């Protein structure tokens, strides 16, 4: 591909750029213009990507909140206060940096909105202020012509209030910090608050989170709240005297939960490994080793479905405390969540979809079998596996013979109960078949000391009085393996090393796991997990099908014409089958002319030959 002289000059000065990627036809007109501006900046001796530090002394929102008006010196003819004129001598001097989000030029002066890490502030640029000498290029050329929306600049100046009342920075010095090569989506809001051209497609927002954070107000606030939630949770656990630890992500056995794992291969050991599905078993080993309380906040991976509330990679906090039980754990959990909600929202309440959810302790406590009976009228207590399965089938549920009693009860609860608990509710006393790592209930045979915390119709936490009887634990692992033999690919695998650790003795222990992503969803009022994960897992990005240069060559099209045909909208050979030779030649000629390509368009006969072979 041949380029115009202007563009070839640009490419020649950028030897580190792969020239194939610099095909002018792969760029939009705005992108071409920005690259030309980049070259012009360099030709003026301005580095568009300087290495030196730019000293920042203030941030947008702080400047606005801390602004103090100058003293009143009199009244105007209308009786309004007249204040001292702002100057560098009597005003606050600041040095700020950020991204240009809007520009308006009015001859020798201009306004712009600068966006930094905290918000936006207006800057006022006067030609003679930033160009006090005879050379006015910094304003006339650099600012007016070469800087675009999205570019980063640093400015120094003094703070003042405009005649319209807006706190602004009068710029005395300006420096280019980074030239953006792609235009940002321009989201517009009218006087009534109506938004136009919104960047609101969820898939595009999640895939290009960097753009989402720039143009959509409130997105960053969600992740700042996420950071507050994690920081507060960590502080509570640290202040309670518990130790944060790290345990392996690559594991020989996928244990600690009932879930389908991701499998990878460890080449050095020639061994398949599992991405962890839970941190539980390693943390319990540390309790055996003498830690009184340990916790880990990290990633778990489950090779299961993706939907609005599930992502295969998610963040979880697990805590294990020696000598504590489920009753202590419920009190500790509700007090902890009340503190976290208050830290994030200023009060122990949050509004979600019109519901006020209160995290004020204490929370309701309800046994799971009572919950199922309350919602369905069916009492699972004392019923056999077959009886429960038949009831499920009578309700039209999708169950089969691979599901054991615990799985069936879990399905019943999920179908009829889980979504109904809006206020925080501890669901307790799970059947032993559902809880292979949980201690038997102290007073209710066949049940275990376990709770799940339900909030807004979803599970938020799962907790146990941990099983520390090694013989009982081994028997439950064996039962899990029987379920695996029946086809349950989420059943637990026997972890012999964990059993060995238990045989050395583990003290009575309380354990809990809290899904951080769901907690953030609750406390920020979001309904999709993708809204609270910076980079959620996405399906592969769709690409436009294109015939290869080799395939085009088979019908006689030279490689240099392939980008031109694609730019004209002919990505596949079959796209030209119905074209008229003269019409296709004209479209090719239009592209050559528009982009000033140093190419001679093919003859009508050549184009006709392409079309004939495409139809062969």
Check whether 616 has a pLDDT greater than 90.
no
pLDDT band at 426; cut points 50, 70, 90: very high
Paired strand residues for 95: 156
Q: What is the mean pLDDT of the segment spanning 204-210?
A: 96
pLDDT value for 26: 87
The string of pLDDT tens digits covering residues 466-498 is 999 999 899 888 887 887 777 666 666 788 999
Check whether 217 has a pLDDT greater than 80.
yes
Q: Element (H or E) spanning 39, and its range?
A: helix 29-43
Of 223-237, 350-364, 446-460, the range with the highest mean pLDDT is 223-237
pLDDT band at 4; cut points 50, 70, 90: very low
pLDDT value for 121: 98
The string of pLDDT tens digits covering residues 387-425 is 999 999 999 999 988 888 888 998 999 999 999 999 999
Check whether 309 has a pLDDT greater than 80.
yes
pTM: 0.86
Token pair 């030279």: residue: 558
pLDDT band at 433; cut points 50, 70, 90: confident
Gap between the Cα atoms of 362 and 262, Å rounded: 38
Gap between the Cα atoms of 338 and 443, Å rounded: 30
pLDDT value for 494: 84
pLDDT band at 18; cut points 50, 70, 90: very low
pLDDT value for 363: 97
Q: What is the mean pLDDT of the segment spanning 284-294?
A: 98
Q: Are 99 and 90 in contact (CB under 8 A)?
A: no
Gap between the Cα atoms of 230 and 236, Å rounded: 10
Q: Are 585 and 564 in contact (CB under 8 A)?
A: no
The string of pLDDT tens digits covering residues 50-107 is 999 999 999 999 999 999 999 999 998 888 889 999 999 999 999 999 999 999 999 9
Give the CA-trace dihedral at 193, 199, 200, 203, to 10 degrees: -170
Q: Which domains does the chain have, with CATH numbers?
A: 44-184 (2.40.50.140), 222-360+439-467+480-531 (3.30.930.10), 549-614 (no CATH)
pLDDT value for 476: 83
pLDDT value for 489: 65
- Least confident window among 40-49, 68-77, 138-147: 68-77
Gap between the Cα atoms of 463 and 241, Å rounded: 19
Q: Are 114 and 99 in contact (CB under 8 A)?
A: yes
Check whether 336 has a pLDDT greater than 70.
yes
**Alpha carbon 330 to chain centroid distance?**
31
């Amino acid at each position: 591909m041949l380029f115009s002289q202007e563009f070839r000059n640009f490419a020649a000065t950028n030897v580190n750029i792969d020239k194939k990627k610099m095909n002018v036809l792969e760029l939009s007109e705005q992108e071409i213009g920005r690259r030309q501006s980049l070259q012009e900046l360099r030709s003026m001796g301005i580095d568009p990507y300087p290495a030196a530090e730019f000293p920042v002394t203030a941030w947008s929102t702080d400047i606005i909140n801390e602004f103090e008006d100058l003293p009143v010196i009199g009244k105007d003819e209308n009786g309004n206060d007249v204040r001292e004129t702002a100057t560098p001598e009597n005003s606050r001097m600041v040095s700020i940096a950020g991204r240009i989000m809007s520009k308006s030029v009015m001859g020798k002066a201009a306004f712009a909105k600068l966006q930094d890490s905290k918000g936006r502030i207006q800057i006022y640029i006067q030609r003679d202020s930033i160009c006090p000498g005879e050379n006015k290029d910094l304003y006339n050329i650099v600012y007016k012509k070469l800087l675009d929306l999205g570019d980063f600049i640093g400015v120094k100046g003094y703070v003042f209030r405009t005649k319209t009342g807006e706190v602004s920075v009068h710029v005395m010095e300006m420096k280019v910090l980074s030239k953006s090569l792609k235009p940002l989506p321009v989201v517009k809001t009218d006087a009534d608050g109506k938004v136009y051209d919104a960047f609101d497609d969820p898939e595009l927002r999640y895939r290009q989170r960097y753009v989402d954070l720039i143009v959509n107000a409130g997105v960053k606030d969600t992740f700042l709240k996420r950071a507050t939630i994690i920081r507060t949770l960590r502080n509570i656990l640290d202040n309670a005297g518990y130790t944060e630890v790290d345990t392996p992500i690559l594991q020989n056995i996928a244990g600690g939960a009932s879930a389908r794992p991701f499998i990878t291969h460890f080449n050095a050991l020639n061994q398949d490994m599992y991405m962890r599905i839970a941190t539980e078993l390693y943390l319990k080993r540390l309790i055996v080793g003498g830690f009184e309380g340990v916790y880990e906040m990290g990633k778990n991976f489950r090779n299961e479905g993706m939907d609005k509330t599930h992502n295969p990679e998610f963040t979880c906090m697990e805590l294990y405390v020696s000598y504590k039980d489920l009753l202590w754990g419920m009190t500790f959990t509700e007090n902890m969540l009340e503190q976290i909600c208050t830290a994030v929202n200023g009060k122990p309440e949050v509004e979600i979809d019109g519901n006020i959810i209160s995290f004020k302790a204490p929370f309701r406590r309800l046994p799971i079998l009572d919950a199922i009976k309350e919602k369905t009228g069916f009492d699972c207590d004392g019923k056999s596996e077959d009886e429960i399965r038949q009831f499920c089938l009578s309700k039209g549920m999708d169950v089969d013979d691979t599901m054991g009693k615990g799985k069936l009860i879990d399905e019943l609860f999920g179908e009829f109960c889980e979504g109904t608990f809006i206020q925080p509710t501890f669901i307790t006393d799970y059947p032993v078949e559902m809880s292979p790592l949980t201690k038997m209930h102290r007073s209710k045979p066949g049940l275990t000391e376990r709770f799940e915390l339900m909030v807004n119709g979803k599970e938020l936490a799962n907790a146990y009085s941990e099983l520390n009887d090694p013989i009982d634990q081994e028997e439950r692992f064996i039962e899990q393996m029987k379920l695996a033999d029946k086809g349950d690919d989420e059943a637990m695998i026997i972890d012999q090393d964990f059993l060995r650790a238990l045989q050395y003795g583990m003290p009575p222990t309380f354990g809990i796991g809290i899904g951080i992503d769901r907690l953030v969803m609750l406390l920020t009022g979001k309904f999709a997990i993708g809204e609270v994960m910076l980079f959620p897992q996405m399906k592969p990005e769709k690409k436009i099908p294109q015939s290869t240069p080799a395939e085009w060559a088979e019908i006689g099209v030279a490689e240099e014409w392939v980008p031109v045909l694609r730019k004209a909208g002919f990505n596949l050979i079959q796209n030209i089958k119905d074209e008229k030779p003269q019409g296709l030649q004209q479209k090719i000629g239009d592209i050559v002319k528009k982009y000033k390509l140093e190419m001679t368009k093919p003859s009508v006969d050549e184009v006709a030959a392409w079309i004939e072979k495409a139809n062969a």
